[in-house]
Structure 1
Amino acid sequence: MRPEILFPLFAPITSLKGVGPRIAPALERIAGPLVRDLLFLAPHGLIQRPCLAVAEVGPEEVATLRVTVTEHLRPRSPQQPLRIRAEDETGRIDLVWFGNASRGIEGRLPVGARRLISGRVERFGLDLQMVHPDYVVEEARAGEIPEHETVYPAGGGLAPRLVRRFALAALERAPDLPEWQDPAWQAGRGFPAWLDALRVLHSPSSEADLSPASAARSRLAYDELLAHQLAMAQRRSHRRSGAAPRLPGSALAGRIEAALPFRLTPDQTSALGDIRSDLGGGVRMSRLLQGDVGSGKTVVAMLALGDAAAAGAQSVLMAPTEILARQHFETLAAPMEAQGIRVILLTGRDRGPGRREKLQRLADGSAGVAVGTHALFQDEVKFARLALAVIDEQHRFGVGERQRLLDKGEGVHLLSMSATPIPRTLELAAYGDLDVSRIVGKPPGRTPVATRAAPMTRVAEVEDRLVAAVLGGAQAFWICPLVSESELIDLKAAEQRALELQGRLGSRVGLVHGKLPPAEKDAVMADFASGKVRVLVATTVVEVGVNVPNATIMVIEQAERFGLAQLHQLRGRVGRGRAESACVLLYDPPLSDTAQRRLDILRRSDDGFAIAETDLELRGGGDALGLRQSGFPDYVFVDPFVHRDLILAAGDDARLVLARDPDFSTPRGQALRVLQALFDWRPETGMKGA
C-alpha cells in the first residue's frame, strides 16, 4: 500500500488547477500522468532577468527595464510591425510586435504610462529594440517578473512558461516527508533536506544550481539511487532465501569440454568456476555473465547446461530473436547430443505435430535442454524438472517475461548473458541484484580486426574495394547512420546505399531495417548467414547479432554519430573466424576533438570494457553509451557519469540497511518505505512500477 502522505503527489495531473482536457495530454507527454512526475520535471535552463537601465543593456542580453511610453509608431502596411517607443533617464528602446501579437498592445501601453518590460534586447540599426517582450506589467505588479526564470521542456502547444507554472503548482503539493538519509552522510555531503532540494530544483538562483553536481541535484540523485539499490538488494535477498536444486560440476560436462576443438580461456574458466559454485550451493543462482562480442559466453553456458543434465535436471536457453536462438542451437546441439543430452529448438514458427512432439519431450523430461525464443515462456510449455534458465541479452525481455520462464520450475537458477560492456563504475546501478562474472579475453584463433578511419569523401573508393572483396568470396556489413530523429529518413538513406550496391552486386546485397516485418528480416539475415546474401546493409535500429564467421568487412557510415561502445559492438560482428578482418569508419570532416579521440581509441583497442570506461569519460552521462538499450535504469535525476560515486555509496547504504533493519521497522526504515514508494521502485522486480 502506498503511504497516505504521498497521495497528493500520486494524484493525476488533471487535479492541478488549469490542467483540463485540452492541456492534460500535452503535459502528460512532457512530464507524465501524475503530479509527482511534474514535481520531478527538472528545468533545462535559466534566464536571468536583472533590473537595469537602458544604457546598461548590451545587445543579446536579457534584462528587465523600467520605462515610460513616449510614442506609438503604427505600421504603414500589414507586413510591418507595431513599434512602441519607450525610454528611461539613460536611453531609448523600441518595443516591437508582429502580426496578431500586436492586438491590444496600444491599449496596454498608452503614451505616458510607466511599465516594467522584460525580454531579450537586440540592436536594429543604431537603435535598441525588444521584440515580443516576455513580460509587460505595471509597476505595482513588479513581483510578477522573476529575477531568475527556469526554462522547462515544452511541446504540444504548451509554452515553457506554462509548464513552469504547473511544475510550481506541483511543488506546492509536495509534503514535508520524514528524512530517510543517514544524518552523518547527509551532513558530510552538505545535502539539503528533500523539500529544500526540490525548491532549489524549480527555483535556482544561478546556473550552478542547475548542474547535476550541485548539492540539491546530487541529493535528489542519491535518493533515487538509494530507492533503486534497496529494491535490488531486497530482490537479491529474496532470491537467496529460497532453496534451489544442487547442480554440482560433472564428468559429463567435462567430456563436453574435452571434446571441444579449443581450450577454455582463463576468463572462461574463472566464469565457469563462479557459476558452478552457485549451482552447487543449494541457493538460487542469479548471475550475469558479461562478455565482449565473440568472447565465448555460449560455450561457458553450455557446460553449465551439461552440469544440469548430469544431475537429471532440465535447462533452457532463451534468446530474443529466432536467428540468435538458431545460432545457439547450432552451437549446443552437436556436442551435447554426442553425450546423450537431447536438445530441442522451440520458436514461434513451430506448428502442428512437430510442435506437439517437442512440447511432449519437455513435459516428460526426455529433452534435457530447450533452446528458443519467447515461445519458451508460453503457458502450454511445461517442463518435468526445470532447474536452470539461461537468458541471452536479458534486457531484450521484460521482467514479467523472464519471471514466467523461471516460474516453470521450483527454485530455478538464473544465468543472464550480455554482450554489452558496462563500465565497472556503473555495474551496480544496472545489475545490483545480480552477481557478475566477466569474460574479457578472446578465444584463441580470433584475429584482431584492423580498424581504419576515412573521410566520407572516399566512400566511392571504399565501395570499389568492398565490391572487389565480395567478388573474391568475402561477406560484409554496411551500417548506415542515425541521420535524424525520423526512422523514415534513416530508412531512405539505407535504401539508397543498398540500391547503389545492388547496382554493382545485384541480389547479393540485402537490406534490413526496423520497418521490415520480423519474418522478412529473419529471412534476409538467414540468407546472409548462409552466404546467399554477401553484403548486408542495415540501419542502426536493427540488431545484427548473427554469427557469420565468413563476414570479414564492416563499413560504418558517419561513424562520428555513434557512441564508442556502439561502434565497438558493431565491429565485433566481424573477425569471428580465422580470416583477416577489417572495419572501416567513414566520417564527415572536420571531426570534433572528442570524435577524433573516440576513433583513435577504437583503432588502438579491442577491449570492450576499457572502451566503455573511456566512452563514459569522454562523453559523460545521458545516453552516450546506449545504456537504455543495454538495460540501464531509466533514472530521472541520476547522471551516470557525474553521480558514479553516489551509485557505490547507495549500494553500500542499501546493504547496510537490510543487514540492520530488514523489516524496515526503525524510524529510518519507515522513512525508507516512503522513499521507495515515492520513486516506485518495486522490490519484487527491481524495476519501476513493473
Structure 2
Amino acid sequence: MLQLDQIPLKQIHGVSALKEGELHAFGIFNVQDMLEYYPFRYEDYRLRSLSEVKDGDKITVQAKIMGIPVLQRYGRKSRLTCKLMAEDWMFTATWFNRHFLKDQLTSGREIVVTGKWDLKRMQMTVSDSEFPDKGVARSGTLQPVYSIGGKITQSWMRKTMNQTLQQFGEMIPEILPELLVRKYSMMPRKKAITGIHQPEDNREGQEARRRMVYEELFLFQLKMQAFRALNRGRADGVVHTVDNATVREFVRSLPFELTDAQKKVELEILHDLRSPYCMNRLLQGDVGSGKTVVAAIGLFATVRSGFQGALMVPTEILAEQHMRSLQKLFEPFGISVGLLTGSTTGKKRKELLASLQMGLLDIVVGTHALIQEDVYFRQLGLVVTDEQHRFGVNQRSILRRKGYNPDVLTMTATPIPRTLAITAFGDMDVSTISERPKGRIPISTYWVKHDLMDRVLGFISREVDQGRQAYLICPLIEESEKLDVQNAIDLHIQMQQAFPNYHVGLLHGRMTPAEKEEVMRSFYANEVQLLISTTVVEVGVDVPNATLMIIMDADRFGLSQLHQLRGRVGRGSHASYCILVADPKSEVGQERMKVMTDTDDGFEVARRDLDLRGPGDFFGTKQSGLPEFRLADMVADFEVLEKAREDATDLIKDSSFWTSPQYEVLRGYLQKEQIFQGDLID
C-alpha cells in the first residue's frame, strides 16, 4: 500500500499541474505534506448575539434585511449600505466595493454578516456575507487561515484541504505507540490532523494541536536520542593524544589569564578530543566572553596531535580577523594558519589548496569557500563553526565530511537558557561560558527620548573628536508608509549634513556581500568614523576603536537583538556606551529599555526576554540554530519538549524498541531519516 508521502499532489481532485507548481513554493510536494500544512489561525464565523459583543469586536450575526440598499460610487470605488435587524437590534451594514450585492439585498431576506462592530454608531463594516437560502454556509464554524501567496487563495486552499481529507483521511497512519497515546490521553492521529484543519470548536482545536505538538517534539527527540545512542557506542572518532604539559605551555603564552568558566570548558573540550568518540559540542557564551580563545586551545591540541583544524565564519572580514589573531597566538609554536575566502583567487588559492592537501598547512580559517568541492584536507581532526545559525545545515555537514569523523565544535553568541539548550540540542553536549574575561570594561547603557537627540549628536562629536568611532542603527532601510520609524537612508543623509567633517558610512541588507565587506573594511580601518546601519552588523567584525552604539527606535527591536548590537562595542581598552533612543508606547517596550539599562549579562537578558516577549518569538526566525517545526514552539512548548525527551530516551534504552512489532513504524521513521547512516544531526 502506498504511503501518503508517495502520493503526488495531482492525485487530489482539483489540483492542476499549475496549482501543483504553486504548492511546491510552500514546500508541499505530496499528500502527506499537504495534510501537514497546518493553518496558523482561525476565522471565527460562529454566530454571536449583539447584546454580548463589545465595540470593535469582529463578529458574525444572522439578520434580516429591513430596508432598501443605497449604493454610492466614487470613481471605481463604491459604498453599499443597508438596514439590518438582528434580534431586537436595528443597525446599518456597510460593504465597500461590493456593488454587485445590491440586487441580492431584498427586504425580508435572511443574511449572515461578518465584520467589525461599531457600538456607538450601531453599524458594521462587513468583510464577509452569505445568504442561508443559497445553502452555502461558513457561519457557525471556525475557518482555518493558511499561509499562502501567489495564485493560491484561502477559499481554494480550504476547499482543497477538505478534498484531501475526504480522499486520503482514512489512510492517515498512527505513528505513536499506544502506551504514549494512553499515557497523555491524546486523540488518535487521524482525528487530530482532521481536527486541526476542521475544528468543531476551540476545545477540539486545542486537543488536536496538543497531540500533534507532542508528536513533532517526540519524533525530533527520538531522532536525537537514537543518534546519540548509536554513535556514542561507536568509537571511530579522531583520538587526539596531546599531553597536558604541552597545552599548559600554550595557555601560559596567552596575553591574559583564562576565566574559571573558560578553564572548565577547556577541560570538557580536551576530554572530548582525547576520547575515541566524535565530539559534537555546542559552546555558547555571551558576546565578548572569550569563546574564540577556547576554540584556539582546541585547535592547538588538534595540530599537536598531528591533525589539521578548520574554522568557518560567516563573513570575509571576520575570517581575516580570526586568521590574524590565531596567527599571533600560534606563531611562537610554529603552527601555520591560512585564509580561504571568496576573495582568495588565482595562484594564491592554488598554493593554499595544495598546502592543505599535502598537510603543510595546519589550520585554515574561512567562509563558506571552505566547503567548495576542490578543497581537500590531508587529515582534518577538528571543525569549528562560529555563529552556526548563519550557515545552512548542508553547509556545516559538507565541511564535516571533508575529514573522517572529525570532532565538531559549534559556537554561538545567542544566549539560550541552559536547560532549553540541553533539551533542544539533544545530540550535542552543551558548554556555557557564563563570565566575562577579567579587566573588560562594562558597557554603560542609557535610554533617552527622541527630543534629546541634540545631546546624542553632541556625544557622538565628543567621542569621534577623541579619535573613536560610532555605530548608528536603524530598524528600516527606506521610509515606510506603515511605520513611523527612522530609516537608514534618510539618517545617512542627515548625519552627513550634521557632521560634514566626518566620513559617514552606510550599511544595509540590500547591498551585495562585496559592498558590505568594503564598508566594514573602511570602518575597521577608521576611514569611516560614523557607520549608519541596519541590524546587519549584529554579528560582525570586532572594531576595538568603536566605543559608541546608538540604536534608533530601540523599542522596535527584541531584547536579544539589542544585546547583540550592544556587544559590537566595548571590545577595546576605552570606555564604551550604548544609547537607546526610543519613546515606547507599550509597557513591553518600556520594560525592554529598563532591562537593557539594568543589566549587560546576556543570559539574564535572555531570561527576561523569555518572560517579556512570551515564548512565541523568543528566538526570532534567524537568531538561533534551533530546528523549525510546523506547530511546536521550542519555548512555549518547553514542558512538552522535556516530556518528549524523557519518553524518547526511555524508549531508545528499551531493548524491545529495536525488535517489537509495535515500534516498527518508529523504526521505519528513523530509517527514513538516515539515523543509521551515522551522519551528524542538525
Is structure 2 residue 495 aligned with structure 1 residue 497? no
The one-letter amino acid of 2:664's match is: Q
Aligned length: 673
CA contact (8 A) 1:316 1:390 kept: yes
542, 546, 549: which one aligns with 2:541: 546
Question: Within 5 Å, which residues of 2 pair with 1:424-439?
Answer: 424-428=418-422, 430-439=424-433
Aligned to 2:38: 41
Aligned to 2:313: 319
Aligned to 1:6: 4
CA contact (8 A) 2:651 2:657 kept: no
Aligned to 1:397: 391
1:5-49 Cα offsets, whole Å, 9 max, x none, are: 3247x532x543334466556666567444444433224134143
- How far the C-alpha of 1:578 sits from its partner, in A, is 2.5
The one-letter amino acid of 1:245's match is: V
CA distance in 2, matches of 1:121, 1:259: 70
Distance 1:242 1:374, change over 3 A: farther
CA distance in 1, matches of 2:438, 2:261: 12
CA distance in 1, matches of 2:8, 2:479: 33
* TM-score, normalisation: structure 1: 0.87
- Farther-moved stretch of structure 1 (422-431 vs 533-542): 422-431
1:103-150 Cα offsets, whole Å, 9 max, x none, are: 5x63x56666x54534348569987667465211218x38x3441222
SS in 1 for 2:3: helix
Is structure 2 residue 225 aligned with structure 1 residue 233? yes
- Farther-moved stretch of structure 1 (385-394 vs 167-176): 167-176
SS in 2 for 1:174: helix
- Farther-moved stretch of structure 1 (391-400 vs 318-327): 391-400
CA contact (8 A) 1:253 1:303 kept: yes
Is structure 2 residue 187 aligned with structure 1 residue 192? yes
597, 606, 609: which one aligns with 2:600: 606
Question: Within 5 Å, which residues of 2 pair with 1:90-105?
Answer: 99=97, 101-102=99-100
CA distance in 1, matches of 2:655, 2:426: 19
- How far the C-alpha of 1:582 sits from its partner, in A, is 0.8
CA distance in 2, matches of 1:488, 1:233: 47
CA contact (8 A) 2:112 2:139 kept: no
- Farther-moved stretch of structure 1 (426-435 vs 471-480): 426-435
Is structure 2 residue 403 aligned with structure 1 residue 409? yes
Distance 1:465 1:429, change over 3 A: same
The one-letter amino acid of 1:232's match is: M
CA contact (8 A) 1:235 1:683 kept: no
CA distance in 2, matches of 1:462, 1:136: 61
CA contact (8 A) 1:248 1:276 kept: no
Aligned to 2:510: 515
228, 236, 240: which one aligns with 1:243: 236
CA distance in 2, matches of 1:167, 1:90: 39
CA contact (8 A) 1:6 1:678 kept: no
Distance 1:235 1:168, change over 3 A: same
- How far the C-alpha of 1:453 sits from its partner, in A, is 0.6
Question: Within 5 Å, which residues of 2 pair with 1:111-130?
Answer: 115-120=110-115
- How far the C-alpha of 1:399 sits from its partner, in A, is 2.4
1:651-671 Cα offsets, whole Å, 9 max, x none, are: 222222322259754334223
Aligned to 2:583: 588
Question: Within 5 Å, which residues of 2 pair with 1:169-184?
Answer: 169-172=163-166, 173-175=168-170, 177-184=172-179
Identity %: 34
SS in 2 for 1:243: coil
Aligned to 2:214: 222
Is structure 2 residue 275 aligned with structure 1 residue 277? no
CA distance in 1, matches of 2:122, 2:552: 48
1:561-606 Cα offsets, whole Å, 9 max, x none, are: 111111111111111222211111111243x222222221222222
- Farther-moved stretch of structure 1 (290-299 vs 617-626): 617-626
Aligned to 2:618: 624
- Farther-moved stretch of structure 1 (168-177 vs 512-521): 168-177
Aligned to 2:552: 557
1:507-530 Cα offsets, whole Å, 9 max, x none, are: 522221112222221122122222
Question: Within 5 Å, which residues of 2 pair with 1:294-373?
Answer: 294-373=288-367
Aligned to 2:666: 672
Q: Alignment RMSD, CA only?
A: 3.6
- How far the C-alpha of 1:75 sits from its partner, in A, is 4.5
- Farther-moved stretch of structure 1 (27-36 vs 279-288): 27-36
Distance 1:178 1:184, change over 3 A: same
CA contact (8 A) 1:616 1:624 kept: yes
472, 482, 491: which one aligns with 1:478: 472
1:233-273 Cα offsets, whole Å, 9 max, x none, are: 34444544251221134333322211112111111111111
Segments of 5+ residues of structure 2 without an aligned counterpart are none
CA contact (8 A) 2:61 2:86 kept: no
- How far the C-alpha of 1:336 sits from its partner, in A, is 1.0
For CA contacts below 8 A with separation 6 or more, give which structure has more relative contact order. 1
The one-letter amino acid of 2:239's match is: R
Distance 1:47 1:29, change over 3 A: farther
Segments of 5+ residues of structure 1 without an aligned counterpart are none
Distance 1:252 1:150, change over 3 A: same
1:542-562 Cα offsets, whole Å, 9 max, x none, are: 444211222111111111111
The one-letter amino acid of 1:360's match is: A
